[in-house]
Amino acid sequence: MADMLTPNFSRAEMQCKCGCGFAPAHDDNFMRMLQRLRDKLGPLPINSAARCESHNKAEGGHHASFHMQAVAADIRVFGPRALALVDEARRLGFSGVGIAQKGIKNKRFIHLDIGSRSALWSY
């Protein structure tokens, strides 16, 4: 069985995607909130969660990205489900919500974090 952080999110799913193995201890509150969001909306495909410094830079992430602190995730979602995710994430208390819905489907995602000061933005 996979090393699970919550009933539906594995450590492997939340680690850096560049293959470096960077898998910091994820914030318990962040993971509880992400699980509550999943319980409400169903499966949430993770594009990116924790990132090492070099992967964050390669992705064009902010130099102090919350991904590097393991309190952020990008969820692959588009269409009406994206709006439902944004609404529910704000209701649950995610303070940072970034919306990327332009372009091809696999480049559409919603960024969620708990480090921002109540911010909502688009890419």
Tell if the pTM clears 0.75, that is, is over it.
Answer: yes
Domain definitions of the chain by residue range = 11-122
pLDDT value of position 1:
55
Whether 107 has a pLDDT exceeding 90, the answer reads no
pLDDT tier for residue 27 given thresholds of 50, 70 and 90: very high
**Correct CATH for 11-122 of 3.40.50.300, 3.30.1380.10, 3.30.470.20, 3.30.565.10:** 3.30.1380.10
Rounded distance, CA 95 to CA 112, Å? 8
**Average per-residue pLDDT for the chain:** 94
Compute the average pLDDT of residues 80-98.
97
